[in-house]
Amino acid sequence: MGRKASEPVCRAASPETRHVVIVGGGFAGINAAKALGNRKGVRVTLIDRNNYHLFQPLLYQVAMAALNGGEISYPLRKMLSMYRNITIYKGCVENVDAENRKVLTDFGEIGYDYLVLACGAKHHYFGHNEWESFAPGLKTIGQASEIRRRVMEAYERAERTQDPVEQKKLLSFVIVGGGPTGVELAGSIGEMSRYYLSKYYKNIDPRQTRIFIVHSGKRILNTFSPELSSRAARALEQLGVQIWTSSRVSGIDASGVQIGPEHIEAETVLWAAGVRATSIGKTMGFETDASNRIVVDDALSVKGHPEIFCGGDQARFELAGGEALPGLASVALQEGRAIGRNILRDIEGSPRQPFAYLDKGQMATIGKNMAIVEKGRLRLSGFPAWLVWLLVHIYFLSGFKHRFFVLLQWGWSYFTFGHAARIINREWRFYPENPDGP
Amino acid sequence: MGRKASEPVCRAASPETRHVVIVGGGFAGINAAKALGNRKGVRVTLIDRNNYHLFQPLLYQVAMAALNGGEISYPLRKMLSMYRNITIYKGCVENVDAENRKVLTDFGEIGYDYLVLACGAKHHYFGHNEWESFAPGLKTIGQASEIRRRVMEAYERAERTQDPVEQKKLLSFVIVGGGPTGVELAGSIGEMSRYYLSKYYKNIDPRQTRIFIVHSGKRILNTFSPELSSRAARALEQLGVQIWTSSRVSGIDASGVQIGPEHIEAETVLWAAGVRATSIGKTMGFETDASNRIVVDDALSVKGHPEIFCGGDQARFELAGGEALPGLASVALQEGRAIGRNILRDIEGSPRQPFAYLDKGQMATIGKNMAIVEKGRLRLSGFPAWLVWLLVHIYFLSGFKHRFFVLLQWGWSYFTFGHAARIINREWRFYPENPDGP
């Protein structure tokens, strides 16, 4: 980069302007940034390894070829361009020197007065990292593209072979984990195989696709009420999904999935079971829980470090009963906003306010016309729930244009049952030994 | 695959049904397939390494972040699903056994009665394959994504550094080749840097971006009339593009481009200079030209092999004067259709017809409101030409839905000057040594 790592990228903040460094441009990070945008006495540096904000709740639709990655991502620079006091760097934070109030990035050091950690979470294989190559998780657009490639490629390979046993294995999909993401993936594959793909293949019948949800708990979607969870299970079964509850995966390899003494032969395994925060909180010696989440106080700052805040999936915020808030977009969004406001209160000299989470409820979608929605005592399922799901997601998609295009894309798919983006992208690789390519 | 390579995938054709194998799903391949679709006495197997047809004329818009890859690709299975006699395999053809009339693929052997080669062309570095990693070409969606990543990443890195010499190098883009693709890439970068990016960066002024077209000939766009070529050059210069004619690249490396004694420091170099057909024609011992194109007779079949046809960028069809038809979509489309019809004539027992190319003219676009169109003595430039360009491209986009969405996307970009898809995708890689990812 032509600069030594010890040389700071940013000038020292003038005494009257406080410098806030935000790490991560997810729901928590951008909402902290927005709360501080164009405010007096503060300037903000937002660092993210990508140049876009990702609307993660719809990532499974990219994996299932219903949307393009570009439709659920929004350039951070565009999103925050109206704020004169926000600078954005695409880069990686490698460490934090909390004593000297500096973050160490791959492009140099940046000093801060306040630090906001909002790095999110990624998949966690419970000590079996060797499973990752066989069972990718779904947290990034790259992973979504890889899942899409594996699913579509399995059908192409099944069409090419004439060995029925191999075809069966190729048309078997195991989803590990029965939370919302697992359910959404399984429901999509069920719907696609039963209602859409069948007319496009000559040698196979895609309706014979086997789809398994392998779930360690007693029932899927266990953060929902037993009634809604059961309705979702019935809807999944109607799409041909086999639900194996009380089933803990003991092995994953190229042959498929081992569940204690049982074995499922499957070419494609998808991981939707566990997430864990990045390890930076642990490295920094902060108090963390088993999922690496940093324990924060009621004002969302780190114990012993009032100048460091943490929000979103990286934070563990405990309710009065000791229960932690779940890793939901609405939690991250509210935490980010609360962090920004508490920094402003500090600067104004007023006391910080404790964070109060306003429960927005939870929802999961199984397929076209079928979802479940639960908010307090309100419980919806079927078409009404699906409509609520649709409206909420379109409303929260960042930026008007995206909402508009996704709505159109969905409308089109709804009436044609066509999957818009069903192409398999291969990355470009450089093959010097073979000028004609692979 | 569970099957030996020597075992044929397809059953032998019944005596009354001829089996046509088409290699390649580009403009030539799909139009040959469509001409044979649902016709009596013939069945078709189409093989392509991708599962989609790519609308290559708009690929530069994917590279320049104006469209998503999915918007210019169309699933082959969907495109040809109305034809009962067409089977599609996603796979690679590794060789052809012309004597025994079999193609050898990575999933087994397939016998044929007629073979249609329509494998297209790819970039050619004139004996300098070592340049490819520094200067990617633009023939696939993967390459378009890589070019997009390099261009957008250059701006991100320039924003992060404070070294003005490094910033200058990062904001320098060299396009090798002054044909339509080179002009379209240069025009897009010029437009983007001058009119769009400037408001999104704090440390750099994107309007200082240097863009070079390095062209070996005396004038760019030399298949057009001198007058139109000159108008295009003036329009490019108005967007800040520097055109270096009579300049032959003698070296490309990480520092930039060497042109004889001259040197341009540039982080990003794009290759739009030369293409060459795949080497399969040469391997098979057919007559080929310097660009590996297979020389075909007036019925588009290979000399000495009336059962083997070749069309599109892979074929060399000579006009009466000895001049070869250029590598245009309209040429490939017409050749493919003519091949299909000649095979039908063979089956019906009627004589083949010589191929007659109907000149559809040529066009190139420089930027918003500016293009050039030439057809015989008709010459257009400026806004009218741009409108013609727009209508023709929308019309030829395969599938109504794509036309509709691309039109919307373009309309939106036109009025907002926003680039819809300006995100940098990173591919997903498996990093076992680092569970927290890169």
CB contact under 8 A, A129 and B421: no
Q: Return the active site residues of A.
A: 184
CB contact under 8 A, A424 and B51: yes
Residue found by looking up tokens 């999961």 in the block: A364
How many other C-beta atoms can be found within 10 angstroms of the C-beta atom of residue A358?
Answer: 7
**Confidence category of residue B70, pLDDT binned at 50, 70, 90:** confident
pLDDT at B2 over 80: no
CB contact under 8 A, A423 and B73: yes
Residue found by looking up tokens 């023939």 in the block: B139
Query: Which residue on chain B is closest to A430 by alpha carbon?
Result: B133
According to DSSP, residue B314 is labeled: G
Which neighbouring-strand residues pair with A173? A211, A268
Contacts of A255 in chain B (CB under 8 A): none
| Pairing relationship of beta strands A172-176 and A210-214 according to DSSP bridges | parallel
Average pLDDT over every residue of A299-304: 95
pLDDT at B370 over 60: yes
Check CB contact of A383 with chain B, cutoff 8 Å: no
CA dihedral A183, A185, A190, A193 (to 10 degrees): 180
pLDDT at A344 over 70: yes
CA nearest neighbour of B105 among A202, A157, A197, A152: A157
Tens-place pLDDT, residues B92-109: 999 999 999 999 999 999
Query: Which residue on chain B is closest to A134 by alpha carbon?
Result: B430
* A324 CB-contact burial (10 Å; exposed 0-12 / middle 13-18 / buried 19+): middle
pLDDT at A428 over 70: no
**Confidence category of residue B27, pLDDT binned at 50, 70, 90:** very high
Residue found by looking up tokens 């039963």 in the block: A194
Q: Residue B237, SS3?
A: helix
CB contact under 8 A, A107 and B161: yes
**Confidence category of residue A336, pLDDT binned at 50, 70, 90:** very high
Q: Cα–Cα distance between B390 and B403 in angstroms, integer?
A: 11
In chain A, positions 246-275, which contact chain B (CB-CB < 8 Å)? none
pLDDT at A228 over 60: yes
Beta-carbon contacts of A378 under 8 Å, excluding residues fewer than 6 positions away, are: A361
pLDDT of residue A304: 92
CB contact under 8 A, A422 and B75: yes
Q: Cα–Cα distance between A391 and A407 in angstroms, integer?
A: 9
CB contact under 8 A, B421 and A70: yes
Check CB contact of A90 with chain B, cutoff 8 Å: yes
pLDDT of residue A399: 65
pLDDT at A427 over 60: no
In chain A, positions 39-78, which contact chain B (CB-CB < 8 Å)? 50-52, 68-71, 73-75, 77-78
Which value does ipTM take for this structure? 0.82
Contacts of B107 in chain A (CB under 8 A): 157, 160-161
Tens-place pLDDT, residues A48-93: 999 999 999 989 988 988 888 888 888 899 899 999 999 999 999 9
Contacts of A52 in chain B (CB under 8 A): 423-424
Average pLDDT over every residue of B163-170: 96
pLDDT of residue A424: 61
**Confidence category of residue B407, pLDDT binned at 50, 70, 90:** confident
Interface mutation vs chain B, best among A45, A425, A429, A431, most B CBs within 10 Å: A425
pLDDT of residue B11: 44
Sign of CA dihedral A67, A69, A72, A75: negative
- Distance from the B340 Cα atom to the nearest Cα atom in chain A, whole angstroms: 22
Q: Helix A400-416 to helix B400-416 angle, to the nearest 10 degrees?
A: 170
pLDDT at B66 over 50: yes
pLDDT of residue A103: 97
Helix %, strand %, coil % of chain B (to 5) = 35, 25, 40
Contacts of B85 in chain A (CB under 8 A): none
CB contact under 8 A, B405 and A408: yes
In chain B, positions 336-375, which contact chain A (CB-CB < 8 Å)? none
Average pLDDT over every residue of B359-380: 91
- Residues belonging to chain B: 438
Check CB contact of B159 with chain A, cutoff 8 Å: yes
**Confidence category of residue B424, pLDDT binned at 50, 70, 90:** low
Q: Cα–Cα distance between A228 and A222 in angstroms, integer?
A: 9
pLDDT at A432 over 60: no
Contacts of A133 in chain B (CB under 8 A): 430, 432
Tens-place pLDDT, residues B117-135: 999 998 899 889 999 999 9
Of B75, B91, B426, the CB nearest to A423: B75
Average pLDDT over every residue of A100-106: 96
Beta-carbon contacts of B357 under 8 Å, excluding residues fewer than 6 positions away, are: B317, B319, B325, B331, B334
Contacts of B416 in chain A (CB under 8 A): 401
Show the CA angle centred on residue B260, arms to residues B259 and B266, nearest 5°.
30
Of B71, B77, B162, the CB nearest to A200: B77
pLDDT at A438 over 90: no
Query: Which residue on chain B is closest to A407 by alpha carbon?
Result: B405
Higher pLDDT, A264 or A58: A264
Check CB contact of B184 with chain A, cutoff 8 Å: no
Cα–Cα separations (whole angstroms), residue A111 to A6, A13, A164, A283: 11, 8, 62, 19
pLDDT of residue B8: 43
Terminal-to-terminal C-alpha distance of chain A:
33
pLDDT of residue B278: 87
Residue found by looking up tokens 């004609």 in the block: A436
Residue found by looking up tokens 């990173």 in the block: B426
Query: Which residue on chain B is closest to A155 by alpha carbon?
Result: B90
**Confidence category of residue A13, pLDDT binned at 50, 70, 90:** very low
Sign of CA dihedral A351, A356, A358, A364: positive
Output the 3-class SS for chain A. CCCCCCCECCCCCCCCCEEEEEECCCHHHHHHHHHHCCCCCEEEEEEECCCEEECHHHHHHHHCCCCCHHHHEEEHHHHCCCCCCEEEEECCEEEEECCCCEEEECCEEEECCEEEECCCEEECCCCCHHHCCCCCCCCCHHHHHHHHHHHHHHHHHHHHCCCHHHHHHHCEEEEECCCHHHHHHHHHHHHHHHHHHHHHCCCCCHHHCEEEEECCCCCCCCCCCHHHHHHHHHHHHHCCEEEECCCCCCEEECCEEEECCEEEECCEEEECCCEEECCHHHHCCCCECCCCCEEECCCCEECCEEEEEECHHHEECECCCCCECCCCHHHHHHHHHHHHHHHHHHHHCCCCCCCCCCCCCEEEEEECCEEEEEECCEEEEHHHHHHHHHHHHHHHCCCHHHHHHHHHHHHHHHHHCCCCCCCCCCCCCCCCCCCCCC
**Confidence category of residue A265, pLDDT binned at 50, 70, 90:** very high
CB contact under 8 A, B156 and A51: yes
Q: Which of A390-394, B311-315, B364-368 is predicted least confidently?
A: A390-394
Contacts of B412 in chain A (CB under 8 A): 401
Beta-carbon contacts of B304 under 8 Å, excluding residues fewer than 6 positions away, are: none
Q: Return the active site residues of B.
A: 184
Residue found by looking up tokens 């030994």 in the block: A433
pLDDT at A1 over 90: no
pLDDT of residue B4: 42
CB contact under 8 A, A70 and B423: yes
Query: Which residue on chain B is closest to A139 by alpha carbon?
Result: B428
Q: Residue B359, SS3?
A: coil
Q: Cα–Cα distance between A108 and A415 in angstroms, integer?
A: 52
Tokens of A153: 């490629």
Q: Cα–Cα distance between B175 and B172 in angstroms, integer?
A: 10
pLDDT at B32 over 60: yes
Check CB contact of B1 with chain A, cutoff 8 Å: yes
Q: Cα–Cα distance between B186 and B207 in angstroms, integer?
A: 14
pLDDT at B293 over 60: yes
Of A1, A71, A430, the CB nearest to B161: A1
**Confidence category of residue B13, pLDDT binned at 50, 70, 90:** very low
pLDDT of residue B3: 40
pLDDT of residue A433: 32
Query: Which residue on chain B is closest to A428 by alpha carbon?
Result: B142
Contacts of B435 in chain A (CB under 8 A): 124-125, 129
Q: Where are the strands (E) in B91-232, listed by range?
A: 93-97, 102-105, 108-111, 114-117, 121-123, 172-176, 210-214
Q: Cα–Cα distance between A110 and A94 in angstroms, integer?
A: 12
- Provide the mean pLDDT of chain A: 88
Tokens of B171: 């904001």
- Distance from the B406 Cα atom to the nearest Cα atom in chain A, whole angstroms: 11
- Distance from the A109 Cα atom to the nearest Cα atom in chain B, whole angstroms: 11
pLDDT at A175 over 70: yes
Residue found by looking up tokens 């404070």 in the block: B162
Check CB contact of B425 with chain A, cutoff 8 Å: yes
pLDDT of residue A73: 86
pLDDT of residue B29: 98
CB contact under 8 A, B3 and A163: yes
pLDDT at A204 over 50: yes
pLDDT at B351 over 60: yes
Percent of residues, chain A, with pLDDT higher than 90: 72
Contacts of A70 in chain B (CB under 8 A): 68, 420-421, 423
Tens-place pLDDT, residues A137-154: 999 988 998 999 999 999
**Confidence category of residue A402, pLDDT binned at 50, 70, 90:** low
Cβ contacts below 8 Å, chain A against chain B, sum to 200
Spell B323-358 as b/e; 16+ CB within 10 A means b: eebebbbbbbbbbbbbbbbbbbebbeeeebeebeee
CA nearest neighbour of A424 among A82, A141, A10, A145: A145
According to DSSP, residue B103 is labeled: E
Percent of residues, chain B, with pLDDT higher than 90: 72
Percent of residues, chain B, with pLDDT higher than 70: 89
